[in-house]
């Protein structure tokens, strides 16, 4: 069967990674969580006290950052320079800084280069903020996910509870608002729906309903491109 690129974009905690992961599994595609890449960069910047005002510091840091993904117990896991950082990159310290780091063009150029390489052979589901607009503007299928703010907060609270992290609901609300604002107003690659993306509001959709809708869309696209 012909392989395509599936780009999934949307605001924080609207279920992008959940959908992308399930689609990748269903079609036996690679799954790339581009947000995890910006989170891993941010962790490195924090650990090495990289000065975000100094372009040369940022460039040096980027040269020393190697991000890989591996499956551990069936879970897609992020590695930074060979170390499993999946837990750390989801913590509040990284969450509070990541949008500032992701707004830096030098950082974005470096990440986009890696992301495009991952799509060379197609058969990829990638989720993020600029996948359908910048990384893969020619992706055969683009999905833009939304959900109302309260629902997104609820999902993030549950997700962090499952990971054993105790972060207050208020802190999560502030973090999502802060990131939504920076991500959608930055100059370089702001979060926006691509003109040819399919919009899915999943506020009242179950995971399996959303998955079935996306599978149907993909099957149709694959059929149409023959
Ligand atoms: O998990 P959540 O949906 O909250 O966010 P994420 O996908 O892990 O992304 C973390 C942050 O990385 C976002 O808030 C953006 O600032 C940045 N990001 C980006 O700028 N471009 C992407 N393609 C993916 C993430």
- The per-residue pLDDT for range 149-172, each reduced to its tens digit, is 999 999 999 988 888 888 899 999
Hey, whose CA ends up nearest to atom 8 of ligand 1?
35
Neighbours of 21 (CB within 10 A): 16
Residue spans per domain, the chain: 5-219
Nearest CA to ligand 1 atom 21: 129
Pocket of ligand 1 contains residue 86 by CB under 6 Å: no
Residue nearest to atom 3 of ligand 1 (CA): 12
List Cβ neighbours of 61 (8 Å cut-off, separation of 6 or more): 41, 44, 45, 48, 50
Render 107-173 in DSSP notation, one character per residue: HHHHHHHHHHHHTTT--EEEEESSIIIII-TT-SEEEEEE--HHHHHHHHHHHHHHTT----HHHHH
12 lines ligand 1 (CB under 6 A): yes
Instruction: Please give the model's pTM, rounded to 2 decimal places.
Output: 0.97
At residue 75, the pLDDT reads: 85
pLDDT at residue 197, rounded to an integer = 98
Q: Which of 117, 99, 82 is nearest to 39 (CA)?
A: 99
CA–centroid distance, 128 to ligand 1, in Å, is 6
| CA 38–ligand 1 middle distance (angstroms) | 7
Q: Is the CB of 130 under 6 A from ligand 1?
A: yes
Instruction: Domain 5-219: give its CATH architecture.
Output: 3-Layer(aba) Sandwich (3.40)
- Quote the Cα angle for 123-124-130, to 5°: 145
Provide the b/e sequence for 100-138 (b: ≥16 CB within 10 Å).
Answer: bbbbbeebbebbbeebeeebeeebbbbbbbbbbbbbbee
Task: Give, using CA atoms, the residue closest to atom 12 of ligand 1.
Answer: 35
Segment-wise mean pLDDT, segments of 10 residues, the chain, 226 residues: 95 94 96 98 98 97 97 90 96 96 98 97 97 98 97 93 88 96 98 98 96 97 88
């Amino acid at each position: 069967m012909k392989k395509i690129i599936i780009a999934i974009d949307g605001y924080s905690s609207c279920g992008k990674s959940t959908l992308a992961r399930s689609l990748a599994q269903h079609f036996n595609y690679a799954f790339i969580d581009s947000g995890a890449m910006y989170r891993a960069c941010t962790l490195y910047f924090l650990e090495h006290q990289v000065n975000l005002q100094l372009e040369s510091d940022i460039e040096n840091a980027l040269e020393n950052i190697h991000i890989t993904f591996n499956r551990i117990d069936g879970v897609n896991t992020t590695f930074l320079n060979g170390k499993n950082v999946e837990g750390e990159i989801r913590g509040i310290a990284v969450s509070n800084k990541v949008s500032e780091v992701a707004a830096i063009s030098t950082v974005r150029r470096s990440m986009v280069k890696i992301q495009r390489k991952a799509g060379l052979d197609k058969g990829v589901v990638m989720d993020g903020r600029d996948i359908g607009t910048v990384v893969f503007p020619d992706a055969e299928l683009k999905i833009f996910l939304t959900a109302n703010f309260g629902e997104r907060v609820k999902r993030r609270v549950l997700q962090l509870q499952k990971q054993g992290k105790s972060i207050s609901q208020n802190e999560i609300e502030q973090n999502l608002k802060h990131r939504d604002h920076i991500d959608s107003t930055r100059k370089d690659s702001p979060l926006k729906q691509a003109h040819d993306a399919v919009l899915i509001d999943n506020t009242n959709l179950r995971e399996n309903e959303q998955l079935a809708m996306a599978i149907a869309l993909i099957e149709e696209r694959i059929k149409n491109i023959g």
